């Protein structure tokens, strides 16, 4: 299989490419063309190996397109410093070190469906769904007589991740959380 080449000016959000032996995913791209100069391409990119986000100037460059495979998996359990996922079709188990899941591990609860990202045989990390529904381990009591709508209280997910929720949320509620921000979205409808 021959590697596909992509020009810097053709990169779009979601595209992945290799530059200086690093794997990048384009978040945003900016193209500036002046009359006397070659176009300047600046891309806001995420390094898929380290997770860092930077602005790369890619003027007139050609890059090898990186084909990132995504595999649907389900979080199964934590084994020491590793998180174990199972492929529901093949029943293959894979372990990912917690160091690759710094933010994502806050939302890895029993049965959460995720997408594991692979480049060749290298596991890069996981993509969470935009929102998850989960039970609470505990939450603070509501303050009696407080009628201000914006007042929030602390609650904890089953893995001890702390989140702020409105006063009306009870320990027995299942809540919806935005996995990008870690914020409360709503309660699961009954």
What are the tokens at 50?
């380290």
What are the tokens at 164?
């702020």
> Which of these, 123, 138, 24, lies nearest to 114 by C-alpha position?
123
| Contact (Cβ atoms closer than 8 angstroms) between residue 45 and residue 27 | yes
At residue 146, the pLDDT reads 59
CA distance 124 to 23: 10
Give every CB contact of residue 65 below 8 A, 6+ residues apart in sequence.
3, 4, 5, 6, 15, 16, 17, 18
pLDDT tens per residue across all 190 residues of the chain: 456 888 888 888 988 999 888 899 999 988 776 666 667 788 899 888 888 889 988 876 788 899 989 999 999 999 999 999 999 889 999 999 988 888 898 999 888 899 998 998 888 888 899 999 999 999 988 777 655 667 889 999 988 899 999 988 898 999 999 998 999 999 887 6
At residue 149, the pLDDT reads 63
Strands (E), the chain: 5-7, 16-19, 22-32, 40-47, 53-57, 62-65, 69-79, 82-86, 93-97, 113-119, 122-127, 131-139, 152-157, 162-166, 174-178, 183-187
At residue 61, the pLDDT reads 78
Measured from the Cβ of residue 133, the count of other Cβ atoms closer than 10 Å reads 15
- DSSP code per residue over 132-184: EEEEEEEEPPPPTT---TT-EEEEEETT--EEEEETT--TT-EEEEETTTTEE
| Contact (Cβ atoms closer than 8 angstroms) between residue 73 and residue 101 | no
CA distance 188 to 151: 20
Domains of the chain and CATH, by start:
5-65 (2.30.30.30), 69-127 (2.40.50.140), 131-187 (2.40.50.140)
> Which of these, 132, 109, 127, lies nearest to 117 by C-alpha position?
127
């Amino acid at each position: 299989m021959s590697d596909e080449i992509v020009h810097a000016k053709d990169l779009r959000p979601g595209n992945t490419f290799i530059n200086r032996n690093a794997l990048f995913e384009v978040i945003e791209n900016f193209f500036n063309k002046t009359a006397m100069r070659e176009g300047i391409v600046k891309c806001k990119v995420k390094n898929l190996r380290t997770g860092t986000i930077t602005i790369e100037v890619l003027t007139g460059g050609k890059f090898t397109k990186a084909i990132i495979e995504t595999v649907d998996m389900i979080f199964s359990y934590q084994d020491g410093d590793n998180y174990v996922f199972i492929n529901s079709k093949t029943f293959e188990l894979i372990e990912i070190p917690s160091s690759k899941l710094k933010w994502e591990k806050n939302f890895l609860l029993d049965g959460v469906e995720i997408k594991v990202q692979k480049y060749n045989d290298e596991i890069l990390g996981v993509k969470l769904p935009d929102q998850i529904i989960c039970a609470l381990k505990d939450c603070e009591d509501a303050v009696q007589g407080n009628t201000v709508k914006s007042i929030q209280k602390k609650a904890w997910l089953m893995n001890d991740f702390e989140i702020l929720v409105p006063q009306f949320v009870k320990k027995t509620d299942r809540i919806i959380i935005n996995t990008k921000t870690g914020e409360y979205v709503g309660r699961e409808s009954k």
